Structure 1
């Protein structure tokens, strides 16, 4: 058998992963870093002491990293979307009247229910 000079990409249809973060959590992390960058610039322009700015951003950045990795480990690739969807489904559907389920038909100017016709 001849060895091929081309490598086969075996990562097809796998989600992207960066340093243990998967799928949408990479985007959450990037958005958080961007917000921290803007926050640092705003504090610096307002005249806050630079060391204080750096300390605040370091603490917030540490919290961001911990939170994003915790979400990634807890929910996995699609788990958070499933959890949000599960919360939006009502637990119970209540109806105090059957009028919603009975279809009315008009015959000769009179309203009658389907069962009476």
Structure 2
């Protein structure tokens, strides 16, 4: 019995050019748009208003996610978000006397 070798092991998930993180952002955003359309319809907004608003919001979301994917690439958005969490400077909380004294006391 022969088995095919899976040559996609270790690769990121990709669909229509969107890599894994952007694909999840798009899926979550579209779910949120659908939920917003349902809530608007149940709140009494007109049917065509809900449909056109959902199409507009979904299209805007898809355009934005594809633009982020093209701008930052596969790992660029995570790097940008990590850079914002990186401290700008380090604080040294030692007494000045200990910093000036060359001898170290155990």
TM-score normalized by the length of structure 1: 0.74
Give RMSD over aligned pairs. Answer: 2.8
Using CA pairs below 8 Å that are at least 6 residues apart, which structure has the higher relative contact order?
2
Q: Which has the higher strand share?
A: 1
Unaligned runs of 5+ residues in structure 2 are: none
Moved over 6 A (4+): none
**Equivalent-residue separation in structure 2 for 1:45 and 1:116 (angstroms):** 72
Unaligned runs of 5+ residues in structure 1 are: 106-112
- What is the total number of aligned residue pairs between the two structures? 103
Secondary structure at the residue paired with 2:10?
Answer: coil
In structure 2, relative to structure 1, the CA distance for the partners of 1:44 and 1:116 (3 Å cut) is closer
Structure with larger Rg: 1
Secondary structure at the residue paired with 2:74?
Answer: coil
Secondary structure at the residue paired with 1:77?
Answer: helix
Q: Which has the higher helix share?
A: 2
Matching of residue 101 in structure 1 with residue 98 in structure 2:
no
Partner of 1:8: 5
